[in-house]
Structure 1
Amino acid sequence: MLVFRWVLLLLLIAGILCFAMYIGTGQVAWRRRGLTVVKWAVVAGLAFFAVLALERMAMAV
C-alpha cells in the first residue's frame, strides 16, 4: 500500500513539474508529457482504490 501511495504522489509531482515547464517555456511537448503523466496518475489511483476494495471484500468473507 505504501508503494502505491508513493507512486501516486511522485506521478502527481511529475505532472505538476511538467505543467510548470509548459507555462515557463510555452512548448507544447511539456503539456503533452504532463497530460500523459496525469493519465498514469489516474490509473495508479484507480488501482490503489481497487486494491483497497478487494482487501475489504476479502475481510468480509
Structure 2
Amino acid sequence: MSMDKIWYTLDEAAAKFGVPSARILSWVEDGLVRSEDEGGKIVRVNGDDLELKVEELTGL
C-alpha cells in the first residue's frame, strides 16, 4: 500500500502542480478533479486527478 500523500489543500495543490487555485476549482466544478468539502467550502483536492489533468494538458 502506498503511503504517498493523495489529498492536498487547495494552496498545497496549486504550489505542487503549478496550477492556479481558480483553475483547480474550475476543474472541480467540471467534475474532473475530486474534492472534499466542509461547510460548503472545498478543503482538499485529489492529487492523482490533478496529476492526470496536468499530464493531459502538458503532454508530459
Structure whose residues are more often helix by fraction: 1
Query: TM-score under structure 2 normalisation?
Result: 0.32
TM-score (norm 1): 0.32
More strand by share: 2
Larger Rg: 1
